[in-house]
Amino acid sequence: MKAYEAAPPVTGAGATAGPVGRLRDKMAPPIPGSAFWGWAGPILVTLFGAFLRFNRLSLPHAVVFDETYYVPDTLSILKHGVELNHVSNVNPLLLKGDTHILLRTGEIVAHPPLGKYAMAIGQWLFGLTPFGWRFSVALFGSLAILMVARIARRMTRSTLLGCVAGLLLALDGLELVLSRTAILDIFVMFWVLAAFGLLVLDRDKTRARLADAADQLDPESFHDPRVVEVGDADGGGAPDAGPAAEPDEAERASAELSAVFPAMPRLSAEDKDRLGGPKLGIRWLRVAAGVCLGAACASKWNGIWFLFAFGCLAIAWDLGARHAAGFKDRVYGVFRSDARWLPLWFGVIPAAVYTLSWTGWFVSSNGYDRNWAAANGNHTPIWGSIDSWYQYNKWMLGFGLGLDAPKQPYKSNPIGWLVLQRPISFYWSASSHSCGSKSCASEVLAIGTPAIWWGASLALLFCLGWWLWRLIGDMALSRPAQRDWRAGAVLLCVAAGWLPWIWFYLHDHRTEFFYYAVAFDPFLCIAITLCLGLIIGPAAASSTRRAVGAVVAGGYLLLVLLNLAYIYPILTAEIIPYSDWLSRMWFHSWI
C-alpha cells in the first residue's frame, strides 16, 4: 500500500523545482486535480446524504428511544441554561409542543451538557417539534459526510476516493439513524472526526515546513558526516537512515570521526539543535484539534479515549516527519519542539473546553448538586463551586462505569459490533391496514449497513495484516520504511473508539449498546476506501488494470447503495407490511 496510492506524479505548475521541491513533493505531495471538484464533489455527496437524513425527519411523530431524556433536557437548557426536572408524563406533552413541563429543581443527568446545547439550536429555530429537536443531529451528521470526504481526499490525494469515503458514510445505516434521533452520540463522532481532520491537515503543513527547513541548511557552513539519506518512518518512502542516535551516541560518533578527519569539528549544541530540526511553535491546527477533542468529551465522556490516541498519533507523525526531512536527531528535535506542547494540545485545552461547557451550571443556583459544597460545610465562594462540580462529575463517572441493566433486551457484546451481532431498536409500532396489509410494522432499528460493516471487518483485517507485515519487514531488513501511515492511523482510531468498550464489558460487565460504535464509524469508511484504492490501482498502472479495479470497486458501491435502499424502511420508521419487515430481519438477534 503506497503512501499516496491514487496520486499521479506531480508535474507542471503544481510541482516545485530543485532539491527542496523534490523533497517537499515527496513529503507533502500536492493534491492533483481540480480544486473546484475537490470541493464540489464532496459537497454533492454531502447534499445526497443530507437528503437521506432530513427527508421525513419529523417521522415518526413520537418520542424515540432516549429522546425522552434529551428533549426535555435540551428545552431546559434553552430556557434556563441548566437541566431541570420535568413532569412525569412528559412524552405526550412533548408531542403537543407543550413547553410547560419543567419543574424548579435540578435534574441529575449522566452526560455533560455540550451536546444538548447543540440540540437546543434546532428547538430555538423550529420549536418543540420532532423536526426541531432532531434538526441539529441531522445537520451534524450531514456535515460529518463532508469532513470524511475531505479528510479521505487529503489522505489518498484523490478527489474520487474522497468522494467514495463520503458516500460510504452517507449510506451507512447507523450514522443515518443517529443523525435522525435526538441523542448525543453523533456529536461525539463529529468532534472526534473534526479533530482527526485537523491533525491530518497539520501533518501536511508540518512536513512541508520541515522540507523547506531542511533545504535551508548550508552544507558549506554546516555538515554532519553522520547524516545520510533517510527514510520516512511515517510511510513517505524516502531512503533510509537507520535508527536515530541517542545524544551520548551522537557525541561519541562525532569524537571518533573528528579523530579520523581532524578538520571536522566536534558537534556543538547549536549544531545538534539544527540536526533535530526547527522549532515549529504552538501549531494552531493542533490547538483547534484540542478544542474539538474537548467538545467531544463535553458531549459524552467516551471522547476521552481519543485524547490519548491522538496524542500518540501526533508524536508518531512528528518523529516520522523529521526523519523523512533528514534530521538525524529526530527524537531530540521532537522533544525539543513538539512534545512540550502535548499537555496544552491534548490536556489543558480540552479540559478548558470541557469546563466552559458547564457555564450554565456554574452560573445557575438550582442545577443538580450546585450547592453540594455548602450543604457539606464548604462555604468558600469559588472553591465551593469547584467542589460541588467535582462531586457531580464523580457521580457521573461512577454511573458511567457501573451501568448494569441485566434485563435490558438490546444490550450487546462489543466484540460483535463489527459484524452487527446485536443492533438496537429505537422505535417500534405495529398497526393494522395502515399499509394496505392486514398487519403492518414501523421501526427505527439502529443498525449499520451490512455491506459496509462486514466489508469494513475485512478491510480492517487487511490493513492490520498489511501494516504489521511491512513493519516486520522494515525492522528485519533495515530498509526504507514501507508501512502505510494511513492504515496505522485508521486502525488506531477504530481501536480508540472500540477497545475500551470491550475492556469495560469483560472486566466490569457493563451494559453496552451497539450504537456507541458510531464514534468510530467514519474510520471504517476510510478503511474501506483505502482498500478500494488498492483495488483500483495506482495512477501508473495500465488502463486495463485500473478498468478492472474500477469495475470491482463500482460494483461494491452499487451493492452498498442497494443494501441501504433495502433496509431504509426499517431505519426511518416507514410503515410496511409485517412480512416485509420480517424479511429484513436476517438474523434472530436483529429482532
| CB-CB neighbours of 41 under 10 Å | 22
* pTM summary value: 0.89
Residue 589: inside a domain? no
What cell numbers appear for 97 in the block? 409542543
User: Would you say how long the chain is, in residues?
Assistant: 591
Of 237, 244, 303, 307, the closest CA to residue 276 belongs to 244
Residue 257: pLDDT band by 50, 70, 90 thresholds?
A: very low
What cell numbers appear for 450 in the block? 451490512
Looking at the predicted structure, is the pLDDT value of residue 238 above 80?
Answer: no
Amino acid at position 418, single letter: L
Task: Give the C-alpha separation, 453 to 471, whole Å.
Answer: 26
Task: Give the C-alpha separation, 445 to 427, whole Å.
Answer: 7
Of 516, 523, 486, the closest CA to residue 501 belongs to 516
Q: How far apart are the first and last CA of the chain?
A: 40
Residue 221: pLDDT band by 50, 70, 90 thresholds?
A: very low
Residues 96-104: what's their mean pLDDT?
96
Greater confidence (211 vs 17) lies with 211
Percent of the chain whose predicted confidence (pLDDT) is above 90: 76
Which tens digits make up the pLDDT trace of 336-360? 889 999 999 999 999 999 999 999 9
**Side-chain half-sphere CA neighbours of 336 within 13 A:** 17
H or E element, residue 19: helix 18-27
pLDDT of residue 277: 86
Residue 372: inside a domain? yes
Residue 232: inside a domain? no
Residues pairing with 106 in the sheet: 84
Task: Give the C-alpha separation, 180 to 60, whole Å.
Answer: 10
Which tens digits make up the pLDDT trace of 258-288? 444 444 445 555 565 577 888 899 999 999 9
pLDDT of residue 21: 62
Residues 36-43: what's their mean pLDDT?
98
Residue 474: inside a domain? no
Residues 549-565: what's their mean pLDDT?
98
Residues 118-127: what's their mean pLDDT?
98
Residue 12: pLDDT band by 50, 70, 90 thresholds?
A: very low
Residues 417-433: what's their mean pLDDT?
95
Task: Give the C-alpha separation, 286 to 300, whole Å.
Answer: 21
Residue 390: inside a domain? yes
Looking at the predicted structure, is the pLDDT value of residue 19 above 80?
Answer: no
Of 31, 6, 157, 26, the closest CA to residue 480 belongs to 26
pLDDT of residue 40: 98
Task: Give the C-alpha separation, 118 to 139, whole Å.
Answer: 10
pLDDT of residue 434: 85
pLDDT of residue 264: 41
Task: Give the C-alpha separation, 23 to 252, whole Å.
Answer: 30
Check whether the bond before 450 is cis (ω within 30° of 0): no
DSSP 346-397: IIIHHHHHHHHTTHHHHH-SSSTTTTHHHHTT---HHHHHHHHHHHHHHHHH
Looking at the predicted structure, is the pLDDT value of residue 363 above 70?
Answer: yes
Instruction: Please state, rounded to an integer, the average pLDDT across all residues of the chain.
Output: 89
Among the residue ranges 136-150, 198-212, 254-268, 369-383, the one predicted with the least confidence is 254-268
Residue 294: inside a domain? no
| CB-CB neighbours of 344 under 10 Å | 16
pLDDT of residue 270: 59
Task: Give the C-alpha separation, 264 to 225, whole Å.
Answer: 9
Which tens digits make up the pLDDT trace of 496-537? 999 999 999 999 999 999 999 999 999 999 999 999 999 999
Residue 20: pLDDT band by 50, 70, 90 thresholds?
A: low
Of 433, 358, 369, the closest CA to residue 106 belongs to 369
Amino acid at position 556, single letter: Y
Residue 125: inside a domain? no
Residue 247: pLDDT band by 50, 70, 90 thresholds?
A: very low
pLDDT of residue 271: 65
Q: Which ranges constitute the DSSP H helices of 179-303?
A: 185-215, 247-260, 269-276, 284-299
Residues 485-497: what's their mean pLDDT?
97
Q: Which ranges constitute the DSSP H helices of 66-184?
A: 67-80, 90-95, 114-126, 130-156, 159-170, 173-178
Residue 389: inside a domain? yes
Number of structural domains (the chain) is 1
Domain interval for residue 387: 365-402
Which tens digits make up the pLDDT trace of 306-316? 999 999 999 99
